[in-house]
Chain A
C-alpha cells in the first residue's frame, strides 16, 4: 500500500502532517493516531498537507472531521493544504469545503493562520 506520513513542527510551534499516497480504511488509523497525539500535545492549530495524496476516502474524511471538531472545541483549527482538483473534489461534493479552510500551498495556509492569530 502506497502511504507515507511525516510529522514536523515549524519553528514557532505549528504542527504539520504531510501525507502521501492513499489515505483509506487501511491507512487512516495511522493518521488518526497522529492527529490524536497533536491534540494531546495541546496544539491549537494543525496543518494537514494533502498535496501528495492521490486517494482519500470517507474514513480519512472522518478522521479529519473528528480532528477539526476537537480542535475547534479548544478554539483551534485544522487547516488543509490541497492543490489537487481530484482530492479537492471529494471535499466539494460532500460540502466539506465549506467547513474546512483549504489552501493550495503551505505558505498560504501558514499566512492565513498567522493573520487569524494576530
Chain B
C-alpha cells in the first residue's frame, strides 16, 4: 500500500534470517545516498543498519522465532536521516543469554551502532524490538 502520509519514507520488510540482512543494507545504502552525506557517513549508516538487523536475526535464532520479520523504515529530510527497525523476533532477555563468547559480536554490534550514528534508542515492543537511529547531515 503506498505510503500517503510520509512522501519521503521508504519501507521494506524482510525475513529475519542471515541471508536477507544484505538486502536491508542495500536498501539503506540507496536511501542514505540521497542525503548530503559524505561517503564515510553513508557507509556508517549502512554498517549501523546491518548491525541492527544482525542483532534482530541473532535474537530470532535464540528465541526460535523462525518466521519472524524485520521492517526497516527510513525517513529523510534536509537535516537528518531517521531509520526505524522493527522486529518480531521475541524478547531480548539478556539474563538468560549468559555472558559467553557467543555474545561478543552482539555487544560489538551495539557498540558499533552507538559509534556510527548520532542518536540511537532501543525499546521493547509487543513481541519484539524497535531500534531507532538518527544520523545528521554535515556533522563532520
Contact = CB atoms under 8 A, between A and B. Distances in A.
Contacts, number: 59
A26 B22 contact: yes
A73 to B, nearest CB: 13
Interface residues of B toward A: which range? 20 to 34
Nearest to A22: B22
A34 to B, nearest CB: 17
Given A61-B108, A62-B104, A86 B22 contact: no
Interface residues of A, number: 19
Contacts of A22: 22
The B contact surface, by secondary structure, is helix
Q: Is the interface of A mostly helix, strand, loop or mixed?
A: helix
B41 to A, nearest CB: 12
Contact of A26 (B21, B43, B47, B109): B21
A104 interface: no
Interface in A57-72: 57-59, 61-62, 65-66, 69
A52 B117 CA distance: 26
Contact of A57 (B40, B47, B111, B115): B47
A26 B116 CA distance: 22
A58 B18 contact: no
A98 to B, nearest CB: 15
B57 interface: yes
Given A57-B50, A58-B106, A94 B112 contact: yes
Q: Which 7 A-B pairs have the closest CB atoms?
A: A62-B105, A26-B18, A58-B109, A58-B108, A25-B54, A58-B105, A25-B18
